[in-house]
């Protein structure tokens, strides 16, 4: 019953914030294809706050990859190559099947060197800022399904369903605001790095509105990081995929862990009471500010591959976790790492648990039933971010629990498999 109520609440909430589709924003966009829409954005700087952010992103994209750190210095020796029991044979076969469907021009668009900068070209807005690789909506249905088959074989079953749900919700949003050419289930770019192999390193990147997944593969080992998964709204309440919902359990588990803490511990964890707080760094410098209108509270979104994020909030080393608290936190971590195949995910969760001694729990906002909030789990080996967002297509000015963003990062050079790459494979 609680799950049904949460779904109904999200449905009613987002329906109350549907936009007026007769405004110039929507009447203009409805006449455009995805490339005209992107060009209009670039020419007119509309909206200006997002355009300004994309200019900051361009500067960050030109940096050499280093990795997320707490103080600017990468800690070495945290990650190693290992046998995770990955079914690399089946994954490679799916990639080879995909390649067999493509002509030479499509292969040239799809394939990049293993160390290419384009690994880091992903972003989550709906407009196509960097049209790399193959666009799912521009290839045949057989080819699009082959890409999804590779994704399905690589990810865990639950992880694939989460990715599929994000794509379907994007399609649903496109229907709600009458922009199916801009947002649909195939509004995603797909890139392949290296040559599919059971022994040599390779990987792929899928990115588009509210879904970005970077996958690095080397024999029996897989790294899926960074990932961005979001949804506005985070339910589908009508149509072909009615009943779809994502990113609710992560929020529920985070709230459960926060509420399990003592009041003094909550006070320490809660670094800001307001979701936009005067204590945050909001100077207009979109490279260094800790809040902006697009990322909002997120620190490690698109192009933040080298960001310095000092730990804040509550160090887990300051408390003795109860069995229930440990179980809740591990369940949260497991859910946010759902894209990883089961064996790899178990190893990764154990790795993160082994670092609970250097893990910090950070909270922004309230923790009552109806409060929107942000939280972060941060250690030397992982950063997990969860945020309730203001409306972008929906009209809520304040963050709402029906628009959610989540990010997974592997700090200290671990994103994109960086920490286990050989010298010649290192990202440029």
pLDDT tens figures, 115-128: 999 999 999 999 99
How far is residue 184's CA from residue 171's CA, in Å, rounded to a whole number?
4
Q: Is 71 helix (H, G, I), strand (E, B) or coil?
A: coil
Give, in order, the Cα–Cα distances in Å from 384 to each of 12, 116, 201, 206, 311.
28, 25, 26, 19, 12
How far is residue 417's CA from residue 415's CA, in Å, rounded to a whole number?
5
How far is residue 250's CA from residue 255's CA, in Å, rounded to a whole number?
9
| Residue for token pair 């972003």 | 123
47-96 pLDDT, tens digit each: 999 999 999 999 999 999 999 999 999 999 999 999 999 999 999 999 99
Q: Can you tell me the mean pLDDT for 215-224?
A: 98
Q: What are phi and psi of 117, to 5 degrees?
A: -65, -25
Give the domain extent around 391: 1-428
> Is pLDDT of 4 > 80?
no
Would you state the pLDDT for residue 428?
87
Q: Which residues of 101-123 are buried (b: 16+ CB within 10 A; e: fewer)?
A: ebeeebeebbbbebbbebbbbbb
How far is residue 60's CA from residue 74's CA, in Å, rounded to a whole number?
18
Would you state the pLDDT for residue 80?
97
Q: Can you tell me the mean pLDDT for 40-45?
A: 97
Q: What are phi and psi of 95, to 5 degrees?
A: -65, -40
Would you state the pLDDT for residue 356?
98
Would you state the pLDDT for residue 2?
47
CA atoms within 13 A on the CB side of 298: 29
Q: Is 226 helix (H, G, I), strand (E, B) or coil?
A: strand
Task: Single out the residue of 130, 108, 128 nearest to residue 117, CA to CA.
Answer: 130
Is the dihedral angle over the CA atoms 338, 79, 385, 55 positive or is it negative? negative
Paired strand residues for 400: 389
Give the pairing of strands 188-193 and 211-218. Answer: unpaired
> Is pLDDT of 155 > 80?
yes
- Cis peptide bond prior to 315, omega within 30° of 0: no
127-141 pLDDT, tens digit each: 999 999 999 999 999
The single-letter DSSP state of residue 370 is T
Please check whether residue 281 is in contact with residue 289, taking contact to mean a CB–CB distance below 8 angstroms. yes
Q: Is 267 helix (H, G, I), strand (E, B) or coil?
A: helix
pLDDT classification of 341: cutoffs 50, 70, 90: very high
| Residue for token pair 């709204």 | 233
Please check whether residue 365 is in contact with residue 275, taking contact to mean a CB–CB distance below 8 angstroms. yes
380-407 pLDDT, tens digit each: 999 999 999 999 999 999 999 999 999 9
DSSP 274-331: SSS-TTS--SS-TTT-S-BTTTBT-SS-TT-TT-B----SEEGGGS---HHHHHHHHH
What total of structural domains would you count in the chain? 1
256-267 pLDDT, tens digit each: 999 999 999 999
Record the pTM: 0.97
Give, in order, the Cα–Cα distances in Å from 128 to each of 51, 239, 349, 406, 418.
13, 26, 34, 20, 26
pLDDT classification of 6: cutoffs 50, 70, 90: confident
Q: Can you tell me the mean pLDDT for 11-31?
A: 97
The single-letter DSSP state of residue 235 is B
> Is pLDDT of 179 > 90?
yes
| Residue for token pair 């779904």 | 7
> Is pLDDT of 30 > 70?
yes
């Amino acid at each position: 019953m609680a799950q049904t109520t949460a779904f109904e609440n999200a449905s009613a909430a987002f329906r109350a914030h549907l936009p007026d589709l007769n405004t110039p924003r929507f009447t203009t966009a409805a006449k455009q294809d995805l490339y005209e829409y992107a060009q209009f954005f670039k020419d007119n700087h509309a909206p200006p706050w997002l355009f300004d952010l994309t200019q900051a992103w361009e500067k960050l994209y030109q940096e050499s990859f280093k990795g997320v750190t707490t103080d600017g210095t990468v800690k070495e020796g945290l990650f190693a190559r290992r046998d995770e029991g990955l079914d690399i044979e089946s994954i490679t076969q799916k990639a080879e099947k995909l390649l067999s469907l493509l002509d030479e021009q499509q292969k040239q668009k799809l394939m990049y060197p293993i160390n290419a900068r384009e690994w880091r070209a992903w972003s989550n807005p709906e407009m196509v800022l960097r049209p790399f690789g193959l666009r799912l909506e521009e290839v045949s249905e057989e080819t699009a399904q082959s890409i999804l088959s590779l994704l399905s074989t690589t990810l865990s079953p639950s992880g694939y369903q989460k990715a599929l749900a994000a794509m379907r919700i994007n399609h649903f949003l496109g229907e709600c605001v009458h922009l199916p050419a801009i947002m649909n289930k195939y509004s995603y770019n797909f890139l392949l790095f290296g040559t599919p192999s059971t022994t040599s390193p390779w990987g792929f990147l899928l990115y588009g509105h509210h879904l970005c997944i970077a996958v690095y593969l080397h024999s029996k080992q897989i790294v899926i990081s960074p990932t961005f998964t979001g949804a506005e709204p985070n339910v589908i309440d009508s149509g072909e995929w009615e009943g779809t919902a994502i990113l609710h359990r992560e929020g529920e588990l985070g709230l459960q862990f926060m509420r399990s803490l003592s009041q003094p511990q909550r006070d320490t964890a809660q670094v800001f009471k307001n979701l936009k707080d005067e204590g945050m760094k909001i100077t207009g410098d979109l490279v260094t500010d800790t809040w902006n209108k697009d990322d909002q509270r997120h620190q490690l979104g698109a192009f933040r591959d080298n960001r310095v994020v000092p730990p804040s909030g509550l160090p887990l080393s300051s408390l003795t976790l109860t069995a229930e608290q440990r179980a809740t936190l591990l369940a949260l971590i497991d859910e946010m790492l759902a894209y990883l195949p089961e064996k790899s995910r178990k190893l990764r969760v154990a790795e993160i648990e082994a670092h609970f001694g250097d893990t910090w729990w950070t909270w922004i906002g309230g923790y009552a039933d109806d409060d929107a909030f942000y939280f972060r789990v941060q250690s030397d080996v992982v950063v997990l971010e969860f945020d309730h967002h203001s409306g972008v297509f929906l009209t809520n000015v304040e963050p709402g629990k029906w628009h959610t963003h989540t990010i997974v990062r592997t700090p200290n050079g671990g994103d994109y498999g960086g920490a286990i790459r050989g010298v010649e494979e290192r990202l440029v």
